Amino acid sequence: MNKPQITIVVSQRERFSYTQASLESIYEHTQTPFSLIYVDGGSPSHIQHYLETQAQTRGFELIRTEHYLTPNQARNLGLQQVDSEYLVFIDNDVIVSAGWLDALLNCAQETTATVVCPLTCIGQPLGETIHLAGGEAHIVVESQTEGIKRRVHEKHYFVNRKVADVSEQLQRRQCEFAEFHCMLVRTEIFSKIGLLDEKLLSTREHIDFCLTVAMAGGMFYCEPASVVTYVPGLHWNLAELKFFMWRWSDAWEIASLEYFAQKWDLTFQDKYFKKRFKRMGHRRHQGFLKPFLNRLTFGLNPLWLEKIAISLERKLNYYISEPTVRNS
């Protein structure tokens, strides 16, 4: 029996509760032969049991740690076990559609692309609202009176547009970046660039990877014939919330942004970083705190209460997460 050309590496993005729906969609909608490696970083016991049962039943490789993993730590654990020509990084909150992998592989083979991203949609109904259809990512070097300035240029194509409204414009195209929600990669590129950078704890991993691949001569394409949907949303239980708050901690984001700027010789005075510092913690506040306050106040959620709650939450989050940054 021939070895599959593709290995799918699944890792946890920000929650555990969508594990079953995501994994079952892969097995239901994938016709192309594949191997699968699932990286499970500290999931609660019922998810651990589900994955152990599925690994035995379906014959995939399960890598389990008893502690949480950063996204790049998890991907690297899977990557180091890959011996196929291609690999797919995919998060555990993504639902795939019929033919998704066929289309990615066809694009890679026909264009010789190093990285191929699908049309990535967001939320319910599946496949309706665009999150990413490729984009631009590169360093702009500008000459100024005080010297050379380097800044990041990042642009998402068709973000938040309805697929039905732009369907005629959604064609295979060369681009400059993909996101780790889902991407197909030629495995050979890692012999040139090494493993993913684990000093990026929670943000800018995809931009760092794409800039690195581009420097190594890699080429990117978006293939809208492949459609996947990233489905955000928390379940209100302690294990889910603990991982979510840890994953999107201020301490981790600050450390990641500082390292990213240092690595690529960028300045924090640039609006690219100012925007991210201004939005610090917004994932926690939008994903948990505001919904919690809405429940608590029966939908009233006065602005004064929200401001107080955000201030208190930030302090609590710092004390919870900052020690883990020091130990990373």
- pLDDT for the residue numbered 327: 61
- pLDDT for the residue numbered 323: 64
For the residues of 226-272, what is the DSSP string, one character each? EEEEE-----SSHHHHHHHHHHT-HHHHHHHHHHHHHHTT--TTSHH
Which CATH number does the domain 6-230 belong to among 3.30.1130.10, 3.40.640.10, 3.30.2130.10, 3.90.550.10?
Answer: 3.90.550.10
Residue 107: phi and psi, rounded to 5, are: -65, -45
147: tokens are 């010297």
- pLDDT for the residue numbered 239: 87
What span, in angstroms and rounded, lies between the C-alpha atoms of 246 and 324? 9
Spell out, as residue ranges, where the chain has pLDDT lower than 50: none
The gap between the terminal CA atoms of the chain, to the nearest Å, is 42
pLDDT tens-place string over residues 86-118:
999 999 999 999 999 999 999 999 999 999 999
- 3-class secondary structure for 2-66? CCCCEEEEEECCCCCCCHHHHHHHHHHHCCCCCEEEEEEECCCHHHHHHHHHHHHHHCCEEEEEC
- pLDDT for the residue numbered 220: 98
298: tokens are 């029966």
- pLDDT for the residue numbered 299: 86
256: tokens are 């990641």
- Every domain of the chain and the residues it spans: 6-230, 238-326
Predicted structure pTM score: 0.93
- pLDDT for the residue numbered 48: 98
